[in-house]
Structure 1
Amino acid sequence: MKLSAFGEKFSAGAGILSLMDDLGNALAEGGKIMMGGGNPGHIPQIQAVMAERLRRLGEDEQLLRRLIGIYDPPRGEREFLQNLAALLRREYGWELTEENICLTNGSQGAFFLLFNLLAGPMADGSRRKILLPMAPEYIGYADLGLTDDFFVSIRPKIETLDDHLFKYRVDFGQLAVTEEIGAICVSRPTNPTGNVLTDGEVAGLSRLARENGIPLIIDSAYGLPFPGMVYADATPVWHEGMVLCLSLSKFGLPAVRTGIVIADRELIRLLSGVNAVVNLAPGSFGAMLVSDIVRSGEIIRLSREVVQPFYRHRMERALARIRDCFAGLAYRVHVPEGAFFLWLWFPDLPITGRELYERLKRRGVVVVSGDAFFPGLPPGWRHVDECLRITYSQDENEAARGIEIIAEELRSLH
C-alpha cells in the first residue's frame, strides 16, 4: 500500500502516540505505578455534579433528543456558547460574543486545526512556523504540523532557587519574531513543567505578536478561568488578536473530548469551516453536560474551591515526599505553579533521561522522559537529557512509592 506524505508522516511514530501507547500498554498489563500520563484525578465532588446533570439529561425527553439526536452547528452547541460568552463578559469584562467561540472534538484537535491554518506552506508560496517561546513545551504539539521543521523553540532562562527548586523564564533577549513565524504559542500552566507565565511575560509576548501581526495562542487546558489549576498569582487574559484555548478534560471530563477556542471572529469563522469539513459538527455531550454550571458561573467556583485545592494538596504531598527521598542527591524541581506535574532536573545525570525512563519502567514505574518536550529546539543542550516529568494526579500512595523507586534508581547510578 502506498501512502501519501500525510500518511507517511502520521504512521512514522509520533511522540504523543508513543506516550499514549506506552501508557495504554502499562494500564493493560496492570501492576504499574502510573506517573506518566495527563489523565486527571477522580474528584468525588465533580463526579457528583456530573452524575446529577447526567440524570437530568436522561430524564428530560427534549434534552435527551438534543444530546444524541441532533447535529450542532459547526461552531458547537449554541446555548453553551451563549452561556460561556455571557460568563466571560460578566466575570472578566471581555468584549466577546458567542461568535468569538468555537468548540472542537478535544483540544488536541483544536491545535491541529489552528497550527495548520496559521503555519506550514502558505498560499503565496512562503512557509511559516509556530514559535514556542519557552521550551520545554507540551509533547502533543510536536507532531501536529503537516510538514517537517514546523516549530521554532527558544531556550529559557533558568533561575535557581532555594530548597532544590528552579524556574524557567522567557528569554526575551533571544526571542526574535521573523517573517517566517505564523503564530506564537505557549501553555499556561505549562505542560510539562507546571510553570505559570507571569502577567508581565504574557504582556510581553502579546506585544510581540501584535507588533508582528500574528496571533498569540495561550493553551489554558490546565489554567484560567477553568479548571483553575494555578497556585501562583496569574490573571485570566483574552483580547483581540489572542487565541485562548480551554478544555473540559482537566476539569474532570477527559472522555467527553471538548475543546474550546476563543478568538477573533474571522479566525473562528475559518475554524468552524474546517470543523464542518472534517467533523460536520463537534459533539454535543460535553457542552450540554456543563451548560448549566457555565450559565450560573458554578464552573469557576468549583474550579477555585474544589479542583484547585484537590491538586494543590497532592502537589504539596508529592513535593514533600521528593524532599524526603531525594535527600543527598543532586536534583532540582521546577517550582510547581500549576497543572498536576512535577518536572525533575538531575544536573550531571550519568545516563540520559530516556535511559532512566527505561530503567524505571522495568521496575514498574511509568514516567515520561524529558527529551520528548523540546520540539523545534536545536540539538546540543545537555539539559534536555537530564529531566523527567511525573504526575501526582493519581493515587497518592502509589505516587509516594513511585518517588521512592526513582530515588533508589538515582542512588544506584551514583
Structure 2
Amino acid sequence: MTTHRTAGEEGPRPLLNRRLAEFGTTIFAEMSALALSTGSINLGQGFPDTDGPEEIREAAVRALRDGRGNQYPPGPGVPELRTAIAEHQRRFHGLEYDPDTEVLVTAGATEAIAAALLALVEPGDEVIALEPYYDSYAASIAMAGGVRVPVTLRPHGPAFRLDLDELRDAVTDRTRLLLINTPHNPTGTVLTRAELAAIAELAVERDLLVVTDEVYEHLVFDGEHVPLASFPGMRERTVTISSAGKTFSFTGWKVGWVTASPELVATVRSAKQFLTYVSAGPFQYAVAEALRLPDAYFDGLRDDLRAKRDLLGEGLAAAGFTVHRPAGTYFVTTDIRPLGETDGFAFCRALPERCGVVAIPNAVFYDHRDEGAPFVRFAFCKRVDVLEEAVARLKSLAP
C-alpha cells in the first residue's frame, strides 16, 4: 500500500489520522492477551466473569424468538426501553425526563460519550476531564478536534480527591465542556454533594456544558451517588450518560443511554445516527425489564461487590501494596512503591510471570504520566474463588 505526500511535508503521509496518532492498541488488549498467553488471572479488564440475572437473559431470548428488535429498531431506541429509562431516573434520582424527547439509546456508554463530544465540541474547544480518565474520553475529544485539559485527582488519605480550586483555574474563555465521571474509573472516587454543588455553580457561572458518565451509579459502597443534573441550573446544560453493562453484568450487550433536555438530546442524536445508527435491538427489550427489577436486586449487587472489594483490597494490602479504598466502581487502585517499584507499566508487564495475575497500569489514564506512574488498577468484579486464588498468588510479592 502506498501513501501520498501532502504539500510541504517530508516523506509519506501516515495512514492514521493525526488526531488519533497517540492512540494505538489499548492497554486492555495488550494485558488481556498477556493473560491468555500466560494462563494468568485477568484482573485487568472490567467485565464480570458471570452473567447477570437469568430472567433478564431469558427476556432477551423471548425478544429474539418473538421477532422484537431483529430488524432496525427506532433510531432513538425502542419505546419500551426509553420509558423504562425515564422511570429509572424518576425512581432512583427524582429526575423527570420525557421518554419521547429527552432519552436516547446508544451502543453502550462509550458511543454515548463519543456522540456527545462529536456533537458538542468544535475544533479548538477545550474540554476539561478528571484525570485519570477512561481511555475513550481522550480519543473522543481528539476525534472532535477538541483540546483535552486534565484536572488531576490525587491521593488524599485512603481516597483520591478533586481539587476544586484547580478545576476552577482550568476554565478559560475557550472551555466548552466539563466531562465528569462519578463514580470515577479508575480511582473509585464518588464525588460528594458539596463537590458536585461546586461543579454545578462553576458550570452555571461560566455557562459551560457538562457531560456526566454515571455508568457505575448503582455500584456505590460508601457515600451516595447524586446526578449532577439534579443541581440548580444543571438540567438544561447536562448530558447524563449511563448503561446496562455494569449494573446488570451483560457488558457484551452494549446498551447505553443519554438523558438530557430535548435540545441536547437532538444534538447528540445528530452525531449518534452516523455512528451505529441503531444497535442491540432485542437486548433493548430485555434491558427495559432489567431497569424495573426490585430494589433487592440493586441492593444485592452492591453488597456483593462491596464484599469482593474488601476481599481483594485486604489481600492486596497483605501483599504489600498501599490500597486506595474505592467508594464505588469495579476497581481498586494500588500504589506499588511500598514494593520497591515505581513504574506501573513495567510492573504490570512482569506481574503475570511473577505471580500469574494481570492488572492495568493507571498511567495509561493520565496525560501527566508521572502522576500515574506508581499506581496500578485491579478489577474485583470476579467470582469469589477467582479473587481468593488471585490473593493467594499475590502473597508472593510481600516484602
TM-score using structure 2 length:
0.85
Q: Name the structure 1 match of 2:176.
A: 182
Q: Name the structure 1 match of 2:23.
A: 14
Secondary structure of 1:7's aligned partner: coil
Q: Name the structure 2 match of 1:51.
A: 57
Taking the TM superposition and a 5 Å limit, the aligned residue runs for 1:79-158 are 79-98=80-99, 99-121=101-123, 127-132=124-129, 134-144=130-140, 145-146=142-143, 150-158=147-155
Q: Name the structure 2 match of 1:393.
A: 381
Cα distance in 2 for residues equivalent to 1:300 and 1:178: 43
> CA distance change for structure 1 residues 10 and 26 in 2, over 3 Å: closer, same or farther?
farther
Paired residues of 2:179 and 2:211 also in contact (CA < 8 A): yes
Taking the TM superposition and a 5 Å limit, the aligned residue runs for 1:10-409 are 12=21, 14=23, 17-26=25-34, 28-29=36-37, 31-42=39-50, 46-59=52-65, 64-69=66-71, 71-98=72-99, 99-121=101-123, 127-132=124-129, 134-144=130-140, 145-146=142-143, 150-160=147-157, 166-175=158-167, 176=169, 177-223=171-217, 228-237=218-227, 238=229, 239-250=235-246, 251-294=248-291, 297-298=292-293, 300-304=295-299, 306-326=300-320, 331-347=321-337, 349-363=340-354, 364-375=356-367, 377=368, 382-406=370-394, 408-409=396-397
Paired residues of 1:244 and 1:262 also in contact (CA < 8 A): yes
Paired residues of 1:102 and 1:260 also in contact (CA < 8 A): yes
**1:312 CA drift (Å):** 1.1
> CA distance change for structure 1 residues 95 and 253 in 2, over 3 Å: closer, same or farther?
same
Paired residues of 2:109 and 2:255 also in contact (CA < 8 A): yes
**Gapped runs of 5+ residues in structure 2?**
5-12, 230-234
- Post-superposition CA distance 1:175-232 (Å, at most 9, x none): 2211222211122111111111111111111221122222222211111xxxx11112
Comparing 342-351 with 196-205, which one deviates more in the overlay?
Answer: 342-351
Paired residues of 1:248 and 1:286 also in contact (CA < 8 A): no
Cα distance in 2 for residues equivalent to 1:90 and 1:324: 41
**1:253 CA drift (Å):** 1.1
Secondary structure of 1:103's aligned partner: strand
**1:406 CA drift (Å):** 4.4
Paired residues of 2:106 and 2:257 also in contact (CA < 8 A): yes
Cα distance in 2 for residues equivalent to 1:277 and 1:393: 33
AA at the equivalent of 1:169: R
Secondary structure of 2:115's aligned partner: helix
> CA distance change for structure 1 residues 359 and 158 in 2, over 3 Å: closer, same or farther?
same
Paired residues of 2:60 and 2:285 also in contact (CA < 8 A): no
**1:65 CA drift (Å):** 2.3
Paired residues of 2:335 and 2:376 also in contact (CA < 8 A): yes
- Post-superposition CA distance 1:46-77 (Å, at most 9, x none): 33122331343345xxxx323202x2222111
Paired residues of 1:360 and 1:406 also in contact (CA < 8 A): no
Cα distance in 2 for residues equivalent to 1:201 and 1:170: 8
Cα distance in 1 for residues equivalent to 2:278 and 2:131: 34
**1:341 CA drift (Å):** 0.8
Paired residues of 1:157 and 1:170 also in contact (CA < 8 A): yes
- Post-superposition CA distance 1:69-127 (Å, at most 9, x none): 2x222211122112321342344331321111111112111111212222341xxxxx1
Paired residues of 1:344 and 1:388 also in contact (CA < 8 A): yes
Q: Name the structure 1 match of 2:7.
A: none
Secondary structure of 1:130's aligned partner: strand
- Post-superposition CA distance 1:271-312 (Å, at most 9, x none): 222222333323323311122343xx31654222x2112211
AA at the equivalent of 1:183: L
> CA distance change for structure 1 residues 6 and 242 in 2, over 3 Å: closer, same or farther?
farther
Identity of aligned residues (%): 20
Secondary structure of 2:328's aligned partner: coil
AA at the equivalent of 1:142: A
Cα distance in 1 for residues equivalent to 2:240 and 2:181: 10
Secondary structure of 1:268's aligned partner: helix
**1:18 CA drift (Å):** 2.1
> CA distance change for structure 1 residues 110 and 147 in 2, over 3 Å: closer, same or farther?
closer
Cα distance in 1 for residues equivalent to 2:146 and 2:319: 41
Paired residues of 1:120 and 1:146 also in contact (CA < 8 A): no
Cα distance in 2 for residues equivalent to 1:30 and 1:47: 31
**1:9 CA drift (Å):** 4.4
Q: Name the structure 1 match of 2:9.
A: none
Secondary structure of 1:146's aligned partner: helix
